[in-house]
Amino acid sequence: MPVSKAQKKATQKYNKNHYDSIHLRVLKGEKENIVAHAKAHDGTLNKFLNRAVSEAIERDNNN
């Protein structure tokens, strides 16, 4: 079922009010490796990247 323009607008508004965005650049070809790893472990790229950042912050704060 296609998403209506109103639903897209509502989703964009919700995301704007509830989330910050970070843009990440990786070397050519690396994206595919990261996406494959994410799918194998967490299911989504966003979920994997959030977990990786959280774990790195926790690890750095414990040193």
Q: How far is CA 35 from CA 13, 39, 61, in A?
A: 27, 6, 27
Q: What is the reported pLDDT for 42? A: 77
The answer to the question of residue 15 being in a domain is: no
The answer to the question of residue 58 being in a domain is: yes
Q: What is the reported pLDDT for 54? A: 97
Tell me the per-residue pLDDT of 54-63, one tens digit each, with 9 for 90 and over: 999 999 999 8
pTM of the model: 0.75
Tell me the per-residue pLDDT of 6-36, one tens digit each, with 9 for 90 and over: 999 999 999 999 999 999 999 999 999 999 9
The answer to the question of residue 46 being in a domain is: yes
The answer to the question of residue 57 being in a domain is: yes
Q: Which helix (H) or strand (E) holds 38?
A: helix 30-41
Range of the domain at 44: 23-63
Quote the number of domains for the chain: 1
